[in-house]
Chains A and B, each alone.
Chain A
Amino acid sequence: MKKFLLVNFIVAMASAVCLSFVPAKTEQPTLEASIKRGEIVFKAYCLACHQANAAGVPNLYPPLIKNTYVLGEKKALITIILKGLMGEIEVNGATYNGMMPPHNFLNDQQVADVLTYVRNSFGNKAALIKPAEVKPVRVKLKL
């Protein structure tokens, strides 16, 4: 029995070592794959407030459609998702005063994916965001 376990262990270790030489199947930074993963993050953490159609809730949570925060500068957008947002803001001529909590518990890949999803759904069209673009913002914010 002991011998069997030992053999198993050796096989497992050897496999692991061998596999480590095979290039890891990295998540391709393609738009399509990122959007697909981002949708899962959106449904778990964003939809409750911003709603299924991303049109938001009047007076509380802004729409993510045709929203200059969403479609604009990447660093500012990454900062909002990591740090959250509080206080009255204006989007498309309407004001919103709900609070958004920090989402720094999401990893760089998840942040990049969900932002890419939102920037390319609901009629939006903007460049994808890569995890490598999230990392320096997180480091700078110490989040």
Chain B
Amino acid sequence: MLSLKKLLLFSCAVFLAVSLLANDTTREVKHSGFIPDADNAGITLPAGFGALSVVDSLGIARHLSVNSNGDIYVKLERLKNGKGIYRLRDTNGDGKADQVTGFGNYVGTGIALKKGYLYASSNKGVYRYKLDANNQVDTASVELIVKGLVDKGQHNAKAITLDDAGNLYVNIGAPSNSCQLQDRAVGSMGQDPCPILDSAAGIWQFKADKSDQSYAEGVRYITGTRNVVGLNWNTSNNELFLMQHGRDDLARMFPAIYTNEQNAELPGEEMLEAKQNTNFGWPYCYFDWQQDKKLLNPEYGGDSKKQGRCAEMARPVMAFPGHWAPNDLLFYTGTAFPEKYRNGAFIAFHGSWNRAPLKQGGYFVAFVPFKDGKPSGKWEPFAEGFAGKDIYNPSDALHRPCGLAQGPDGSLYIADDVKGKIYKIGYTGK
């Protein structure tokens, strides 16, 4: 009897081991465990890439950052169950979040991990949290790093990034379209000089490790940017790069100068290399990507051709069609993706509203190849199909890309701020 029991136990053990090994083999075949969803999480990617849904309805998920242990931290623009930051943890290696934990009672956009700290922004300032001995956020360690920044609703997202020298860069967007006396009102001309430039429309530099800084402790790093939601430090040439949201409403304000067709394409959304003290020209100038020139805004006497003072303003390193709303920028430093992606830029375009009545556009993630810190080729679509087909009305968009992050395994994460779906993109070679 005893030997029969032993035999049964042994058989069970063998069966279990074989099953586990069989499982392992399946995972091996799928390349380091990355198994895309059967529907590819609803998006299309270049050949060899796949996508899975980490979570599908986190809320208004803006930017995100992934820790060295794979934990994903997501910043929300509306509180969900009273929390504004969520940590997503995958405990079984299938890429899906099994533990979802919230903390922080403020809304905002920016989030970044750097040297043992998590930085997260509200619409007025920046907080940071220490990572503890278990490599996770110690919520009790919260510290206010930057405070008292302009927040008037419009363009208030304080997008952030950090360099390797202990500096924190914060976008302070202009609460305005083009610094008219009466913002966005037909017939109201531009203020010259524009008083908004005193406390907004630029990137400010702060110390990453100093509490309670405000404007007085900050350095105005660059000026003349209307609003920047996507920014990142490019470690391959040690410079700050920005994605600028160009101005709205050329045709509604100046129908005698611009057609609806021109309004849909202009101005260009700009990728800027932001060397310290550069002036990019807002509110006086906009970039016309079709003429490849910075032109004078019509609120300042422009006529769609005149350059005036804008001839001296810094040019973008690349420009994109109008109103696509680039909301995040990431330089890919992993090795999991093929060679052409190394050090290149991914851009999360949120998608337009100001191309109406024409078809809207730009609800996708683009890729720009880079060499030695400069674009080395044209931009191309990378991830598409978030919004659905033929979007004329932005409220019809099912998902809109807003945040980008790179995982420790070289995968790319994308946050959607319609439903709060988080996508994980991996390279399977198939």
Question: Does the CB pair A52–B395 fall under 8 Å?
Answer: no
B243-262 Cβ-contact flags toward A at 8 Å (1 or 0): 00000110110010000000
Whether the pair B185, A52 counts as a contact (CB closer than 8 A) is no
Interface centre among A45, A86, A95, A101 (most CB of B within 10 A): A101
Contact: A52 with B392, CB < 8 Å?
yes
Known A45-B252, A59-B77, A88-B153; contact A51-B186, beta-carbon cutoff 8 A = no
A102 with B182: CB separation less than 8 A: yes
B-side contacts of A43, CB under 8 Å: 357
Contacts of B154 in A (CB 8 A): 97-99
How far is B188's CA from A101's CA once the two chains are assembled, in angstroms? 10
Q: List, in ascending order, chain A residues with CB within 8 A of B354's CB.
A: 48
CA gap between A105 and B187 in the complex, in Å: 9
**Interface positions of B (Cβ within 8 A of A):** 60, 77-78, 153-154, 182-188, 248-249, 251-252, 255, 353-354, 356-357, 392-397, 418
Residues of A within 8 A of B153 (CB): 86-88, 97-99
Closest to A60 in B: B353
| Complex contact A51–B356 (CB within 8 A) | yes
> Which listed residue (A45, A53, A86, A95) contacts B392, Cβ 8 A?
A53
Check A47 against B185 for contact (C-beta < 8 Å).
no
Q: Which of A63, A87, A101 contacts B186 (CB 8 A)?
A: A101
Interface residues of A in 82-135 (CB under 8 A from B): 84, 86-88, 95, 97-103, 105
Given A63-B395, A97-B153, A105-B187, CB of A48 within 8 Å of CB of B249:
yes
Chain B residues closer than 8 Å to A55, beta-carbon distance: 393, 395-396
Q: Does A72 contact B (CB under 8 A)?
A: no
Smallest CB gap from A51: residue in B: B393
Proximity bits, A29-63, B CB within 8 Å = 1, else 0: 00000000000000111011101110111111101
Which residues of chain B are near A59, meaning CB under 8 Å? Answer: 60, 77
Contact partner, A44, options B187, B255, B353, B396, Cβ 8 Å: B255
Residue of A nearest to B396 (CB): A55
Q: B184 contacts which chain A residues (CB < 8 A)? A: 99-101
Which one, A45, A47, A100, contacts B356 given CB within 8 A?
Answer: A47
Q: Which 10 A-B pairs have the closest CB atoms?
A: A101-B185, A55-B395, A101-B184, A57-B353, A48-B252, A97-B153, A51-B393, A57-B394, A53-B393, A52-B357
Set A47, A63, A103: member contacting B357, Cβ < 8 A: A47
Roughly how many angstroms separate A87 CA and B152 CA in the complex, as a whole number?
8
Pick the most buried of A48, A58, A63: most chain B CB atoms within 10 A of its CB: A48
Distance between B66 CB and nearest chain A CB, rounded to angstroms: 25
Q: Which residues of A contact B (CB under 8 A)?
A: 43-45, 47-49, 51-53, 55-61, 63, 84, 86-88, 95, 97-103, 105
Jot down 23 A-B pairs with beta carbons below 8 A, ordered by A.
Answer: A44-B252, A45-B186, A47-B357, A48-B248, A48-B249, A48-B252, A48-B354, A49-B353, A51-B394, A51-B395, A57-B395, A58-B418, A84-B185, A87-B153, A88-B153, A99-B154, A99-B184, A100-B184, A101-B184, A101-B186, A105-B185, A105-B186, A105-B187
- Chain B nearest CB from A93 CB (Å) reads 12
- A61 to B418 alpha-carbon distance, docked (Å): 15
Query: Interface centre among B78, B153, B251, B418, by most A CB within 10 Å?
Result: B153
Contacting residues, chain A, for B392 (C-beta < 8 A): 51-53
Closest to A104 in B: B185
Return the contact of A58 from the options B182, B188, B252, B394 (Cβ within 8 A). B394
Interface contacts beyond A53-B392, A101-B188, A103-B186: sample of 17 additional A-B pairs, CB < 8 Å, sorted by A: A45-B186, A48-B248, A48-B249, A51-B353, A51-B392, A52-B393, A53-B395, A57-B395, A59-B60, A59-B77, A97-B154, A98-B154, A99-B153, A99-B154, A99-B183, A101-B182, A105-B187
> Of B252, B354, B392, B396, which is in contact with the most chain A CB atoms at under 10 Å from its CB?
B252
A100 — nearest CB in chain B belongs to which residue? B184
The complex places the Cα of A84 from the Cα of B180 at a distance, in Å, of 15
Interfacial chain B residues near A84, Cβ < 8 Å: 185
Task: Give the shortest distance, in Å, between A85 (CB) and chain B (any CB).
Answer: 11
Q: How far is the CB of A94 from chain B (nearest CB, A)?
A: 10
A84's nearest neighbour on chain B, judged by CB, is: B185
Query: Complex: how many Å from CA A60 to CA B354?
Result: 12
Contact A58 B77, beta carbon cutoff 8 Å: no
What is the minimal beta-carbon distance from B269 to any residue of chain A, in angstroms?
A: 17
CB contacts (< 8 Å) of B60 on chain A: these are 59
Which of B77, B78, B188, B394 is the most central at the interface, judged by chain A CB atoms within 10 Å of its CB? B394
Chain B neighbourhood of A52, CB < 8 A: 356-357, 392-393
A100 to chain B, nearest CB (A): 8
**B5 shortest CB reach to chain A, Å:** 63
Residue of B nearest to A96 (CB): B153
Q: In the docked arrangement, what's the CA distance between A33 and B271, Å?
A: 48
Q: Could you tell me the distance in whole angstroms from the C-beta of A14 to the nearest C-beta in chain B?
A: 37
Q: Enumerate chain A residues within 8 angstroms of B185, measured Cβ to Cβ.
A: 84, 101-102, 105
A114 CB, nearest partner CB in chain B, Å? 14
Which residues does chain A contribute within 8 Å of B77, judged by CB atoms?
59
Bound CA span A74–B248, Å = 30
Report the bound CA distance from A88 to B77 in whole Å.
13
Nearest opposing residue in chain B for A50, CB measure: B356
Q: Which residues of the partner chain A approach B182 to less than 8 Å between Cβ atoms?
A: 101-102
